[in-house]
């Protein structure tokens, strides 16, 4: 019987192959799964405490009445609830609409100070693969109202500024960003036209890098062919808009179900323009789209349309 000769070269080749596969798996896990905290963010004291003793609930006689230029499709609406604190630092009116075979939830928010418009990271940390559900982040910060943010953690590029702190200045040249300034005003900028450090010098408080802008100066700024990446045309959506000084709209639509089809970007822009938005901006949508009010999820978040459940995200925008 002939003995096989030991092949050092073959064994070395196998070992190198195994190490290469292991390294590739590690890189993939490190990029998409393993949480990496870069900066811990101190948690601020909530400015609003929504308790039964300070908040009253009623159905308003007059509800938000959108007036769209197009006759079709029409918006039907049902007022859900209006809450106003006795001291009136904040007024929040919640409305539910049917638009383009889609249920859309709108929080009409009026503030006495821009300090009530706030943002938060999952786990109070800026980093990679750090996520929590919108309702969990909202609860941790005692938010009265919250929607998901731009999911900065799903991308390696795009400015990240929160509470006046610059966390990421790696630009995404094709991106439109929403800038929320210290006085509560909104602005739309392109990252290839302004640096993150310049935005800090211009008193930017928060910068969201998702987009696109839906409405600028009261005019729709997308067309019927615009879409986010290769996403499906009709989707759950999240948007934030400003109507007037310290007057905001938080918008979340359901989608991907037989009950709620979802909106295109143009339909979303058309809808928020009809509500009087002067600037409106598209935030992360799809399975991320979530609205939380007083600890309860208001909409029906879903990724695939088969199950109704929240997706964990990187950040939120909230009132608190």
Give pLDDT, residue 57. Answer: 31
Q: CA 297 to CA 48: how far, in whole Å?
A: 19
The residue with tokens 């909104």 is 186
Mean pLDDT by 10 residues, the chain (320 residues): 59 68 55 63 60 32 39 44 60 94 96 97 95 98 97 95 97 94 98 97 98 97 80 87 98 96 96 97 97 96 94 97
Per-residue pLDDT, 224: 84
* pLDDT for position 174: 85
Residue with tokens 């007024």: 91
The predicted pLDDT at position 62 comes to: 34
Tokens 């990446």 correspond to what residue?
Answer: 229
Do residues 213 and 221 lie in contact, with contact meaning Cβ atoms separated by under 8 Å? Answer: yes
Given this model, what pLDDT does residue 169 score? Answer: 96
Please say whether the beta carbons of 96 and 77 come within 8 A. yes
Q: What is the pLDDT of residue 42?
A: 67
Eight-class DSSP state of 6: P
Neighbour tally for 267: CB within 10 Å: 22
Cα(63)–Cα(206) distance, rounded to whole angstroms?
A: 30
In degrees rounded to 5, what are phi and psi of residue 296? -115, 140
Tell me the C-alpha distance between 171 and 207, whole Å.
12
Alpha-carbon distances, residue 64 vs 44, 86, 87, 220, 267 (angstroms)? 32, 21, 23, 20, 18
Residue ranges in the chain assigned as alpha helix (H): 8-32, 134-140, 196-201, 265-274
* Whole-number Å distance between alpha carbons of 114 and 132: 25
> How far out from the chain centre does Cα 14 lie?
46
In the numeric block, which tokens belong to residue 114? Answer: 């821009």
């Amino acid at each position: 019987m002939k003995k096989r000769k030991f092949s050092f070269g073959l064994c070395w080749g196998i070992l190198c192959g195994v190490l290469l596969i292991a390294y590739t798996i590690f890189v993939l896990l490190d990029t998409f799964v393993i949480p990496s905290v870069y900066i811990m963010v101190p948690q601020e004291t909530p400015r609003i405490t929504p308790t039964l003793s300070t908040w009253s609930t009623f159905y308003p006689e007059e509800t938000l009445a959108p007036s769209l230029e197009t006759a079709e499709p029409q918006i039907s609406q049902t007022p859900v609830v209006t809450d106003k604190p006795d001291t009136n630092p904040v007024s929040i009116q919640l409305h539910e609409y049917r638009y383009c075979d889609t249920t859309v939830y709108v929080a009409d928010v009026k503030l006495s100070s821009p300090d009530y418009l706030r943002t938060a990271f999952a786990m109070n940390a800026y980093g990679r693969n750090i996520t929590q559900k919108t309702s969990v982040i909202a609860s941790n910060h005692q938010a009265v109202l919250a929607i998901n943010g731009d999911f900065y953690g799903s991308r390696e590029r795009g400015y990240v500024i929160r509470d006046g702190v610059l966390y990421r200045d790696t630009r995404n040249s094709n991106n439109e960003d929403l800038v929320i300034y210290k006085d509560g005003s909104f602005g739309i900028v392109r990252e290839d036209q302004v640096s993150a450090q310049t935005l800090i010098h211009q008193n930017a408080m928060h910068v969201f890098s998702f987009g696109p802008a839906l409405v600028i100066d009261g005019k729709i700024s997308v067309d019927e062919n615009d879409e986010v990446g290769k996403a499906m045309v009709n989707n759950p959506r999240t948007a934030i808009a400003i109507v007037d000084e310290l007057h905001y709209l938080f918008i979340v639509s359901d989608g991907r179900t037989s009950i709620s089809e979802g909106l295109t970007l143009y339909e979303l822009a058309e809808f928020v323009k009809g509500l009087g938005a002067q600037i409106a901006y598209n935030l992360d949508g799809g399975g991320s789209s979530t609205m939380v009010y007083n600890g309860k999820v208001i909409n029906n978040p879903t990724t695939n349309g088969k199950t109704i459940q929240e997706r964990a995200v990187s950040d939120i925008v909230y009132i608190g």
